[in-house]
Amino acid sequence: MEKNFAEKQQASTKAAQNEKALYNEIISLEIDQKQQIKEDMKDAQQLNEKQKHYLQEAKDSFNKANKVSSQIKTAVQDIDDTKEKKKATAVVQLMEKRQNVFESYYHQYLDVLKLNNHLYEQLQSKALKASNLDKQIKKINQNYKTMKEQEQEFNHITKQYNQVKSQYYNKSSLTQKRINQMEEDRDKDVLA
């Protein structure tokens, strides 16, 4: 169920890379290259909007997958075997931790997109102040740093989650085909 999530996240990452390349081009241009700056700004803002669109689609896909997975929460209450219940609870806890990290990442990403858009507006302004621009860039860079940390945490938790889930399902006698699929998915990072 998370394949669509991963695809949308990868599309968002690609748009972000393209936007960053445009940003680097914009700041390397000379002041008298106004037409090129204007065109690049427009393209960068369109890429910013694409990222927002892909991010929302990724969130929707992640939430759908999480909703299906969260059904295990109610089933855990019905498990009588203490060891099995403990293992199932570990799956649920990692699932919830993963959801929380993604929600934080999602909101951080939205903030970055707003900041980037504001930066492009500032760059187009005739009343541009270097000190404001510098503050904006520092804020954006700090948010990107935070996002990178969240990506790493999410990917780490995802690996743990997939491993614990696979082990639990293996002990619960699920079909070998489904276990093999989970093991293939286990090593994939979802956020990039």
Could you tell me the two tokens for 66? 């999480």
Could you tell me the two tokens for 189? 């990072």
Whole-angstrom Cα distance, residue 190 to residue 88?
Answer: 23
183 vs 26: which has the higher pLDDT? 26
Whole-angstrom Cα distance, residue 22 to residue 44?
Answer: 6
Least reliable range by pLDDT among 5-9, 10-14, 53-57, 155-159: 5-9
At 1, which helix (H) or strand (E)? none
Mean pLDDT of the chain: 84
Quickly count: other Cβ atoms within 10 Å of residue 35's Cβ: 8
What is the pTM assigned to this prediction?
Answer: 0.79
Alpha helices in 78-129 (DSSP H): 82-124
pLDDT tens per residue, range 81-116: 888 888 888 989 999 999 999 999 999 999 999 999
Provide the residue type at 167 as one letter: Q
Whole-angstrom Cα distance, residue 9 to residue 190?
Answer: 7
pLDDT tens per residue, range 4-26: 788 888 888 898 899 989 888 88
